[in-house]
Amino acid sequence: MSGDSELCRLEASELAKRIADRDVSAVEVAQAHLDRIAALDTAYHAFLHVDVDGALAQAKRVDAGEVEGPLAGVPLALKDVIVTRGVPTTAGSRILEGWLPPYDATIVERMRDAGIVVLGKTNMDEFAMGSSTEHSGYGAAHNPWDLDRTPGGSGGGSAAAVAGFLAPLGIGTDTGGSIRQPAAVTGTVGIKPTYGGVSRYGLIAFSSSLDQAGPCARTVLDAALLHEVIAGHDSRDSTSIDAPVPPVVDAARDGDVSGMRIGVVKEFAGDGYQSGVTARFDEAVATLAGLGAEVIEVSCPHFDYALAAYYLIAPSEASSNLARYDAMRYGLRVGDDGEASAEAVMAATREAGFGAEVKRRIILGTYALSAGYYDAYYGQAQKVRTLIKRDFESAFEQVDVLVSPTTPTTAFKLGERVDDPLSMYLADLCTIPSNLYGGPAMSVPCGLSDDGLPVGFQVMAPVLADDRLYRVGAALEQALGTAALLDEVWRRDHAATS
């Protein structure tokens, strides 16, 4: 590896400062990360495409002073569900293999304008449907803590890249927990912003009323700095909120929770929660109380129905969104012998291009939307969604934020749940309600379980109160010292590559 490999250990904010001060060039920083990817990603499989030329070209622009910003020159790993002009974008699916988008997503435009260096596109469950990255059409990603375990999903590639020091920053998307759950099991920080707080223009759709892109990082401040870059109104996205971006960076630098009311969700405890996860969560809550926060137990009774409602709403929207992959306009085309009908080509292409989990959800969604079943399934699920929103609204009349474990267990072994969809879906038990509500939520590390694997602490806030997440996250990070949690991963991998 490059002699500059120690640069890969630095936080994004520190890297940005050194680049701005001309202590190191953006090209040197980009090359150090590209070298580390070359050395380690055969084991992690975090990336589906590494854009060496594009990354170095952007780094040169930063060094030439053509672009600037608080994260100028800092490398980033981009989930492969965000379209990037001229760069392969697959959404983890064989049906889009080799597709080169003709435009950039708004997120990509904003990062380019801010001087962020995109290293490449990261591995993910196909069309963001999964909780382990095992449903990727290109092979599973691996957790830097233990290569036999999942880095979570669907955004396991971005989380693995950040946890493995292949990039200090990442972008994920969160439909039912796909930023927060990978963050929890890799010991990183992941945020689902308020729905509509970050533009969805150029985000390949899974479930349009739930999908939201957000930052992944190794520290709360780094996540806040990235959040501020990508957030804000976008007229090209009809769901974008025309409101000021919450003061997330100031909140991350403050980290004062004295006087805050912290609501512990009563329903997120009991059977199914790993003892080490519960222990670290309870310790984190006690830490917040020791910092001056008031802890209150809150009941959100309809959260128990969130998983069932989600797995009717999300597949229903997916069945509509994925109808565009018809072999006629772009992407894979199979079975066209010059005589086959359009219907036959479409069927053959979808059979070859879609994986088993995507087919399962399309079938579920199509059934739920079909004549005679719409009211019984999709309509009822939307009523439950309304009840869950009311639970949040009632809770936020009593407290400033809600907290829970991010996921009931630490990282499970690859292959352990892949043939048991319900067991896989339970990984998102705690994260799904925030997507149904539309409010922001964060996972921040709160220590290691008895098995030596990271535990995530989830913070949920009202719509457009994203800054509250960062206050709580920063307070915990400082008090528990979790910013150093990944040092173990660094030392092991650095010794192996030196």
Residues known to be catalytic = 79, 154, 178
Asked if residues 264 and 298 have their Cβ atoms less than 8 Å apart, the reply is yes
440: left (phi over 0), alpha (psi -120 to 50) or beta: beta
Label residue 3 exposed, middle or buried (CB < 10 Å: 0-12, 13-18, 19+).
Answer: exposed
Tokens matching residue 312: 């009717």
CA distances from 3 to 104, 185, 498 (A): 34, 30, 9
**Phi-psi map region of 322: left, alpha, beta (phi>0 left; psi -120 to 50 alpha):** alpha
Closest CA to 227 of 186, 264, 174, 181: 174
- Report which secondary-structure segment, H or E, holds 343: helix 342-353
CA-to-CA distance for 65 and 337, rounded, in angstroms?
A: 53
Residue with tokens 């535990």: 455
DSSP 265: E
Per DSSP bridges, beta strands 117-122 and 75-79 are: parallel
Nearest Cα to Cα of residue 433 among 246, 269, 268: 268
Other CB atoms within a 10 A radius of the CB of residue 160 amount to 36
Please tell me the number of Cα atoms within 13 Å of 415 on its side-chain side.
2
Residues 155/78, Cβ–Cβ less than 8 Å: no
Q: What are phi and psi of 491, to 5 degrees?
A: -60, -45
Could you tell me where the DSSP H helices lie in 65-212? 106-113, 156-163, 180-186
Secondary structure tally for the chain: helices H, strands E: 17, 11
Half-sphere exposure of 105 (CA within 13 A, CB side): 25
Evaluate the omega torsion of the peptide bond into residue 235 and state whether it is cis, within 30 degrees of 0. no
Radius of gyration of the CA atoms of the chain, in A: 21
